[in-house]
Structure 1
Amino acid sequence: MVIARSRLTAAALLVVAVFFLVDACGGAGSKGGANAGTATASAAHFQVSSMLKPSGRTLGVVDDKTPWQYGIVTAFTKEAGRAPDIREYYSSWGDDFDAEGNAFLWRHGQLPMMALVPSDTSLADIAKGKDDAYIGRLADQIASYDGPLALSFAGEMNGPWNSWGPQHAKPRDFVASWRRAHDIFTARGVTNVIWVWTPHVVDSGTTAELRPYYPGSAYVDWVGLIGYYGPIDGIAFSSLFTPTLREIAGFSAKPVLIAETGVAESDDKQAHIRDLFQGAAKAGVIGLIWYDQRKDWPGGKQLMDWRISTSVGALAAFQVESARNDFGHSLKNG
C-alpha cells in the first residue's frame, strides 16, 4: 500500500510507526534488490527437507504438456489403477514458472517435476553469469509457489543428441552452470526445490563418463536416471540400468529415481515390464516415472510406442508388477 506522507494525520503516523516497529522486530522483510543473488521476502515457506529420503517407492508419469493439461494424469490413473505420485513436464530455459499450475498438481496429489531444458542457451554463458537475472526471477517465481518442486536442469547432459551434450559443452561448463543456478536459489532463500541430476544411462549411444558431470553432493538431492527398454540397448534391467547405477555409486550416495523410462512395443513387452519393476525394486530406487506416449527412440528417429495400454497383456503386467513391487507412495506427507 502506498501512503501519501504529506497528508497523514498524527494518528495515521502513529499507526505507521507501530507497523514499522513490528516489522523490524520480526515481521516479513522488504523484497531484496535487483541483484540475482540477493535474498528476498518471496522465499518459499515450504521445506522439502522431509521429502529428500522417501520411505516408499513413487510412481510417476511424464510428458511434454503443461501442468494444467491434466489429461495425462487422469488417463494414467485409469489405466495404471492408481494416481501417479509425480507429474513431470518440460520447460524451456527463459520460460516463466507457472506457480498456479504447479500448485494445481500438488493439490491433486502429484509432486511437480520440471525438466528445465537449455536448448537455445550456452552452458558456458550460464556459468559466466549472463543469465543471472533470469535465474533470479525463476527462483522468486518458484519460491512464490508454496509447495515442493523437483527440478531437473539440462537432463541427459551426457547425450550427444542434445545441444548441451558432450559435443557442444564441456562437463565443467555443465557443473559450473548447475552450481551457479543452485547458489542463486540458495542465496534467495528458496527452500522448496528438490535438485535432481538426470543423466541418461551409459550405453552405446552415451559413452561419456558421468563423474565429471556430477555437481557434487552439496548440490544434488536425488539422482535421476533416464533409460528406455527397446530394440537398440535396453532389453533387461541388468544391462540397461545396473552398469550406470554401479558407476554412480562410486561417487554419489544420493537416492536414485528412474526419472524417465518406458518399454517399447514388442512381443516381449510384458516380460520387459516385469523385469523393469523387479529390477528397480531390487536396486532400491525411490521411484519410477513412465513416459506414457509415443516417442522417438532417444537420440534417433525411430518412433516407439511406450504406452502401458498397447495391449491387454502389457497393461496387466504394469498393474500387477507396480503393485507387487510397491510402486505407489504419495509424497504429500514427505
Structure 2
Amino acid sequence: MARRPRPGYLLAAVALVIAGLVAAYVLGGKSAAGDTREAGGASSASPEAPFDVSSMLRPSGRMLGVVDNKTPWQYDIVKTFTEQAGRAPDIREYYTSWGDDFDPEGNAFLWKHGQLPMLALVPVDTSLAGVAEGAEDTYIRKLAHQVAAYRGPLALSFAGEMNSPWNGWGPGHEKPSDFVGAWRHLHDVFRELGVTNVIWVWNPHVVDTASKAELRPYFPGNDYVDWVGVVGYYGPVDGVAFSTLFTPTLKKIGRFCDKPVLITETGVAQGSRKQAQIRDLFDGAADAGVIGLVWYDQRKTWPGSSQPTDWRIDTSLGAQAAFRVESARAGFGHPFTRD
C-alpha cells in the first residue's frame, strides 16, 4: 500500500515549487510546431570511429526520462518536462513504425542536448514470422546502416508490450516463438553489420488483468538483451501501489534474467491519491534497484475508454511538487558520462 506523506511534506513541497519553477532549456530556432532543427544537423561523436555502448550497459545512477510520440526534432516535450520536473530528462523515448527511416541527425540532436534517444520500433502490419524468416531484411539492413551512421547511443525497443493482446503482435495474433525469432534475427543482422551503438531493451507490459500471458516464452535470451524495460501505470484500473503493479512482474523476470531494469513507460493518473502514489512509485523503483523510469506526460483516451486519463506531472501544484521532491529524494536524474 502507498504510504502516507510525511508531516509537513506537502507544505514544503509546494514552497519548493513556488520558489523553483524555472525553465531549464531555452533553445533557439523553434518553429510553431516545436521543431528545433539546426542548419547542417548535429553530431555528437567523431566520424572516425563508431560509438560503442558497452560502458553504458550498467549505469551507476538512476535515469529519469520522458516519452512522447513526436519526432526527436520536436523538442517541446523535453522543455515542458524540464519546467515541470525541475530538471532535464536523461532519456527521450519516441515511437517509430516498422518501415520508417531512422533519423541520425534528429537523434544526434537529442544526445547533444543530454538525452539518450530511445526508439520504440512498432511492427504495425508486419508479420513477426516474416521478420524471423528474413522477409524484411532489406529494411533491417537499411535501418542498421542508418542507426550506425548516427554515431551516438540508441536504446532500441522492438515490438514492445508483446505480452498484451491489444497489440497486433501480442497473444492471439502472433506466437511467442515468432516474437523471439524476429527479435533474434533483427539483433543478429545488426551484429553482423557491426552496429555497436544500440542498447537492446526487451519491453513487456506488467502482468495484470489485461496482460496475463507468461513472460518467459517471450524472452529472447540473455545474449540478445541488454536492458529489461517494463511498462506499467498507476490507474485507472490495476495500478494502486508498486508492490502490486511492478513487484510481481519483476520477480517473474528475475527468475530467468539478471539484466538491468528500466521502467520504460509509467505515470500516475490524476486522482485524490496522486501525490502519495508518486511517492510510492519513486520509493518502490529505488528499492527495486531499477536504473531509471520514463514518464508518460500526456492526457489520453485509451482504446476502449470513453474518458481521457491525465498522467501529466502538473495536474495539480501538489502533484508537481511531489514529483520534484520524490524524484530528487530517491536519486533519479543521472547525467551520462561523456568520454
Instruction: Sort the TM-score into its range (normalised by shorter chain).
Output: 0.7 to 0.9
Q: Percent identity?
A: 71
Tell whether 2:179 aligns with 1:187.
Answer: no
Larger Rg: 1
> Aligned Cα RMSD in Å?
1.4
SS at match of 1:266: coil
Residue deviations 1:99-130 (CA, integer Å, cap 9, x gap): 00000000000000000000110111111110
Gaps of 5+ in 2: 1-46
Q: Does the alignment pair 1:282 with 2:287?
A: yes
Q: How does 1:65-144 map to 2 (within 5 A)?
A: 65-144=70-149
The structure 2 residue matched to 1:324, chosen from 309, 312, 329, is 329
* C-alpha separation in 1, matches of 2:182 and 2:49: 23
Q: Which runs of 5+ in 1 are unaligned?
A: 1-41
Alignment of 1:168-247 (within 5 A): 168-247=173-252
Please list every run of at least 4 consecutive aligned residues from structure 1 whose deviation after the TM superposition is greater than 4 angstroms: 297-302
Q: 1:241-289 CA distances to partner (integer Å, 9 max, x unpaired)? A: 0000000000000000000000000011001100000000000000000
Partner of 2:69: 64
CA distance in 1, matches of 2:201, 2:213: 19
Structure 1: distance between partners of 2:216 and 2:280: 27
* CA drift at 1:333: 3.2
Q: Is the 8 A contact 1:44 1:189 kept in 2?
A: no
Residue 302 of structure 1 and its aligned partner are, at CA, apart by 4.2
8 Å Cα contact 1:45/1:191 also seen in 2: yes
| Compared CA separation, residues 299 and 198, structure 1 to 2 (3 A) | farther
Matches within 5 A, 1:142-161: 142-161=147-166
Give the whole-Å Cα distance in 1 for the aligned partners of 2:316 and 2:114. 28
Return the offset for 1:192: 0.1
Question: For residue 338 of structure 2, what is the aligned residue in structure 1?
Answer: 333
Deviations 1:204-240 (A, max 9, x none): 0000000000000000000000000003100100000
Which string of whole-angstrom CA distances, capped at 9 and with x for unpartnered residues, describes residues 150-193 of structure 1?
00000000010000011100000000000000000000000000
1:270 matched to 2:272: no
Which residue in the other structure is 2:40 paired with?
none
Deviation of 1:299 after TM superposition, in Å, equals 6.8
The 3 A distance-change label for structure 1 pair 309 and 194 is same
Moved more, 95-104 or 324-333: 324-333
SS of aligned partner of 1:329: coil
- TM-score normalised over the length of structure 2: 0.84
Which amino acid in 1 is paired with 2:97? Answer: S
Instruction: State the shift of 1:296 in Å.
Output: 3.2
Contact 1:44 1:191 in 2 (8 A): no
Aligned to 2:31: none
- 3-state SS of 1:121 partner: coil
Residue 152 to residue 274, structure 1, CA distance change in 2 (3 Å): same
Q: Which residue of 2 aligns with 1:9?
A: none
Q: Deviations over 1:59-112 (max 9, x none)?
A: 000010000000000010011000000000000000000000000000000000
Q: Distance in 1 between matches of 2:303 and 2:223?
A: 30
Distance (Å, rounded) in 1 between the aligned partners of 2:234 and 2:211: 15
Which residue identity lines up with residue 105 of structure 2 in the other structure? E
Figure out how many residues of one structure are paired with residues of the other and give that number. 293
- Residue type at the aligned position of 2:230: L
Q: CA deviation at 1:332?
A: 4.2
* Contact kept in structure 1, 2:67 and 2:94, CA below 8 Å: yes
Distance between the aligned counterparts of 1:94 and 1:44, measured in 2? 27
Q: How big is the shift at 1:301? A: 5.4
Does residue 291 in structure 1 map to residue 296 in structure 2? yes
Give, in whole Å, the separation in 2 of the partners of 1:84 and 1:44: 27
Q: Normalising to structure 1: TM-score of the pair?
A: 0.86
Secondary structure of residue in 2 paired with 1:114: strand
Query: How far, CA to CA, are the matches of 2:126 and 2:192 in structure 1?
Result: 23
